[in-house]
Structure 1
């Protein structure tokens, strides 16, 4: 887990994406914030800097990123679509109290795939739900 992209414009070009200002800003947001944002979150964060930005542009840009396989869709809740530019195999943990989504390192044993050899795997998702460390600290009123 963890991406180091020094030149967003070149990275987008290398994936056959024209690096417009809005696309670069949206992708940069994904790789720097790492907060698994929704379309609304990205829009609200960037609209002050890019007044011409629309939610439709954010949605279409994220769809392009997913189609070009430089971002993935995270759907932990059925009514909430989030995005992640880290396309490596990793899990996600969503706190049921604060709603924050965290990356989780996953070590998948080779034996895990034994039952899947007859299938074509197109996507891999591993999600956990519970209460994050910060919310547990607040709930318990002490350090864990």
Structure 2
């Protein structure tokens, strides 16, 4: 599916900037921040601004076409993969990796919330630690 089609599926009016930003998210599974996206695209789209990138990503998140990750308290990152999955962030290199996540049976806390009238719209699962590339014994 092209970025153009992807945007239409989420009822987002395509523009040159929106298509370029969505295309970047769909092709780069690095969980980029606003600055990374801006730097990657500003040469090809000289009229692009960081504000446009920010507003576009905000629109994508509002429509469910992307997710904002706040696993790193200093920087919001964005993920074009909206399937159910978790994330792991390495405390040394900072890289964020997708992790398969299968919903277990509904947890007791989720049952409690639902039984008391709460509607759960999102579940975020983040892991932090050290990736295999940063563990000294794995660098041989």
Structure 1 residue 89, shift from structure 2 partner: 1.6
Mapped to 2, the partners of 1:77 and 1:16 lie a distance apart of 29
Aligned length: 136
Partner of 1:107: 102
State the Cα deviation string for residues 34-89 of structure 1 (Å, max 9, x = none): 11111011011111121111100000000000011111110012221011111122
Runs of 4+ in 1 over 6 A off after TM superposition: none
Aligned partner of 1:15 among 5, 10, 18 = 10
Q: Which one of the candidate residues 15, 24, 28 is aligned to 2:23?
A: 28
After superposition, the CA RMSD in angstroms is 1.5
Distance between the aligned counterparts of 2:82 and 2:104, measured in 1? 19
CA distance in 2, matches of 1:12, 1:77: 27
Unaligned runs of 5+ in 2: none
SS at match of 2:14: coil
Contact preservation (8 Å) 1:74, 1:81? yes
> Structure 1: which 5+ residue stretches go unaligned?
1-5
TM-score (structure 1 length as normaliser): 0.87
